[in-house]
Amino acid sequence: MQTLICTSPGHFNWGTSMRPVMKKDHAIIAIKRIGICGTDLHAYQGTQPYFTYPRILGHELSGTLIEFDNAPGFNVGEAVTFIPYFNCGHCIACRSGKPNCCVSIQVFGVHIDGGMCEYVQVPSYALVHGESLTYDELALVEPLAIGAHGIRRAGVEKDDFVLVIGAGPIGIGAMEFARIAGGKVIAMDVSDDRLAFCSRRVGIEHVINPLHGDAMEWLSTYTNGDMASVVIDATGNLKAINAGINYLAHGGRYVLIGLQKEAFSFSHPEFHKRESTLMSSRNATRQDFEHVVAAMKKGWVDPTAYITHRTPFDHVIRDFESWLQPETQVIKAMVSIDH
């Protein structure tokens, strides 16, 4: 089968490998869609933590289930996605019901080879039913689950002011699920194009570009002086992470979904006087995946609105570099594989 390998930062090579051979407690999926996410882009750029080369990228995936063992309730030919974080099942995190941050986690396409290939083999326990969703929709369950998990970590409740910094796919997903939870959502980004996308395609009414005015003053006015009870960073940008504390209400929760390599810092007095809660949010759980699938089925979220660029598998090398350029205005690129 054909595979696409990121051999080193800035370099892809085509390769061939044997189609997976079925083994106990696993399933084989014929890949139909590959969503391109920030992890893939950062890995290509050489800025992704937890990463070694060469690596087959890709973990936002959907396809057809063609063979499986020990997966009750699933059927051959069913459209599926899967949870691409494979956990050990016995470490302290797994025992605490947090397999998403397993001590020895293996994330598909990050720690181990991923889905930029025609067929993949995954543990049967990771399978997620397609529930009559399209391949496009199923490939977007994982990135939405990342945002949904961050919102669940934050404990967003009705009428919370939720500031989401970063209007990329993960940030937009966090906005969607903050709104579903009853929050009053504000989007912040330094890209007017992305903020316009949030307003036009996702329906976020309140947007801030901190390059065009005093964001703290605007936020204080909008919240009647309270600031944001929840701040979500979905940028992975060090400057944005360090500044995020300034937008947080007293007693508020600051959740870091975005990830970058450096140490972050902010004023201890500013953090302390708020009695702030600081949390990271890593990956997602089955609960989050099922919440996203249910939200899609109910029409609360239209993930296909995020897809701005499409390309066939054979053209990924040709197009990938352009997706790194701001002028391309990519929100979500989707790759199709025809079998």
Residue pair 5/55 in contact by the 8 Å Cβ criterion: yes
Q: Are β-strands 60-68 and 26-36 bridged in parallel, bridged antiparallel, or unpaired?
A: antiparallel
Residues 122 and 112: beta-carbon distance below 8 Å: no
Output the pTM of the full model: 0.95
Q: Which residues of 39-60 are buried (b: 16+ CB within 10 A; e: fewer)?
A: bbbbbbeeebeebeeebbbbbb
pLDDT of residue 339: 77
Structure tokens at 34: 């590959």
- Map out the domains of the chain as residue ranges: 2-139+302-336, 147-280
- 85: its two tokens: 């974080």
pLDDT at 233: 98
Q: Are 145 and 57 in contact (CB under 8 A)?
A: no
For 76-115, write each residue's pLDDT tens digit. 999 999 999 999 999 999 999 999 999 999 999 999 999 9
CA distances from 227 to 165, 175, 212, 216, 268 (A): 14, 17, 19, 8, 18
| pLDDT given at position 260 | 85
What is the dotted CATH code of the domain comprising 2-139+302-336? 3.90.180.10
Q: Look at residues 303, 318, 326, 323 and name the one whose alpha carbon lies nearest to residue 40.
A: 323
Q: What is the pLDDT of residues 20-44, one digit of tens each?
A: 999 999 999 999 999 999 889 989 9
Kindly give the parts of the chain with pLDDT less than 70: none
Give the pLDDT of residue 50. 77
pLDDT at 238 (0 to 100)? 95
Architecture of domain 147-280: 3-Layer(aba) Sandwich (3.40)
